[in-house]
Amino acid sequence: GAATAAQPGAGAGVAGIRFAAGAGDNAGAALGLGARSGDAVVSIGTSGTVFAVTDAPVHDVSGTVAGFADAAGGWLPLIATLNAARVLDATAALLGVNHADLSDLALTADPGASGLVLQPWFEGERTPNLPDATATLFGMTLASTTRENLARAAIEGVLCGLAEGLDAIRAHGVSPTRVLLIGGAAQSPAVRTIAAQVFDLPVVVPEPAEYVALGAAAQAAWALTGARPSWGEEDGSDAERGALVPGIRSQYAARLP
């Protein structure tokens, strides 16, 4: 619309100023990424989020999946986890390594970390809804308890928790065809490799950018011009396409309450 009221703090009315509704952070990120129906976005920052772009709303009476609207006239079913990149921060600190070394250690270990499973609920958890939970390391033997396996178990634990959330979204009839992986942890080679093994979908890692800010800019441009910008849309040509390793998810699921 166009503003007709006086501008706050100004002495005279200012006509012709175009205005539009804003967007929340996840809706802004989806728009900034150019995400479309069929895309699932997995963000691994301090906390984690998984959301899909859909043409129809999702109603989850359990409250696990939040049925948000997106910024482009569609919908954004979403789950959030409390423990994501900070689990990797804590594991790197425990092992006395930086994040590059943590990635190298994890890729040295076999998928499944020789049965070592980290349930990474260091600060309680939101998905599943267990606010008083603590982290637990399962499967510790003299053979399995190595630096390499611990590094891999930390990454697998974070990604399996997010994959459980993606499954919750899928349970409502959403069928994503690829994952857009963003957030600081997405720059880790081990996270990228293991994500493809866990999600069983092509994993695309866009160039690091402020996607929420880009989404806000795209929304403003859309409101001004009447046409959706095509900034930042990923064609998926550089997707990570590792084969699913079922044992990673199954041993994690076996430890769920």
pTM of the entire predicted model: 0.90
pLDDT at res. 229: 87
Longest CA–CA separation in the chain, Å: 77
Joined together, the tokens standing for residue 147 give 């630096």
pLDDT at res. 140: 98
Question: Is the Cβ–Cβ distance between 43 and 210 less than 8 Å?
Answer: no
> CA-CA distance, 209 to 229, in Å (whole number)?
17
CA atoms within 13 A on the CB side of 103: 15
> CA-CA distance, 190 to 107, in Å (whole number)?
6
Question: Is the Cβ–Cβ distance between 81 and 163 less than 8 Å?
Answer: no
Query: In the chain, which stretches have pLDDT less than 70?
Result: 1-14, 232, 234-238
Q: Which residues pair with 203 in a beta bridge?
A: 179, 240
Q: Which fold has domain 25-233+247-257?
A: Nucleotidyltransferase; domain 5 (3.30.420)
Domain ranges of the chain: 25-233+247-257
Active-site position among 25, 55, 110, 238: 25
pLDDT at res. 234: 65
132 is catalytic: no
78: left (phi over 0), alpha (psi -120 to 50) or beta: beta
Radius of gyration of the chain (CA): 20
Q: Output the CA torsion 100→101→102→105 (10° steps).
A: 130
pLDDT at res. 8: 40
